[in-house]
């Protein structure tokens, strides 16, 4: 199986046809992120057969040139947003060294088998959560359900209340679920700092004979 086939099946469903009509209209009339050709970038970089970890965010960054189709990630030449800064702080605290991706581009994580997706895959300029409840949640729920049903020992990393709600559609008898508050400045001090998810992910991968992530 591959992502292309899985996504094609979703695109044939009625809810997605309605979502596509809404998106076509919004992209034509207002500024929407990421660019249309990068909406599914997370799936093109993380091969289905190599999937080890799913990191679930909320929705894309809503300022110009930030969103690139990978949750939390930004292009190299963009200043790291606050959530990304906090992720790197936790990596250093947890592992004792700085991330190889400190420029904010998490492409190397995706290439190692981490699916970096948001619950909602598009957003309008300067309007966070503007594309909630137009159909994306059904799409990402279905992707998560598919992964849960058809794989074993995937690590689901759920940061923030919205992501944690997805735990109910993941089979915890077959998979590993790590949860914490969101890394944004509003909530990072409530438990994201100190969650040690990066070392925990590698401990789990090692225990199931999978290659550890180079953070």
Give the catalytic positions in this structure.
59
Residue 43 half-sphere exposure toward CB, CA atoms < 13 A: 18
**Stretch (H or E) spanning 27:** helix 14-29
Q: What does 163-197 look like in DSSP terms, one character per residue? A: HHGGGGGS-TTTSEEEEE--SSTTTGGGTTTT--H
Tokens 């590993």 found at = 176
Report the interhelical angle of 136-150 vs 14-29 (nearest 10°): 130
CA neighbor of 107 nearest in space, from 79, 82, 59, 75: 75
Tokens 């947003």 found at = 81
């Amino acid at each position: 199986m591959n992502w292309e086939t899985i996504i094609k099946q979703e695109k044939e469903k009625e809810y997605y046809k309605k979502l596509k009509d809404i998106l076509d209209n919004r992209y034509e009339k207002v500024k929407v992120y990421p660019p249309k050709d990068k909406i599914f970038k997370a799936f093109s970089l993380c091969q289905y057969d190599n999937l080890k970890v799913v990191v679930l965010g909320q929705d894309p960054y809503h300022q110009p040139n930030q969103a690139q189709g990978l949750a939390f990630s930004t292009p190299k030449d963009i200043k790291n947003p606050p959530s990304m800064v906090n992720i790197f702080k936790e990596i250093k605290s947890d592992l004792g060294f700085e991330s190889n991706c400190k420029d904010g581009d998490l492409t190397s994580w995706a290439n190692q088998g981490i699916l970096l997706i948001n619950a909602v895959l598009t957003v309008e300029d300067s309007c966070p959560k503007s594309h909630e409840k137009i159909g994306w949640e059904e799409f990402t729920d279905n992707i998560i359900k598919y992964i849960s049903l058809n794989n074993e020992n995937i690590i689901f990393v759920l940061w923030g209340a919205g992501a944690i709600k997805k735990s109910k559609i993941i089979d915890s008898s077959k998979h590993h679920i790590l949860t914490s508050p969101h890394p944004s400045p509003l909530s990072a001090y409530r438990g994201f700092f100190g969650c040690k998810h990066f070392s925990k992910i590698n401990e789990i991968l090692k225990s199931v004979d999978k290659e550890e992530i180079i953070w």
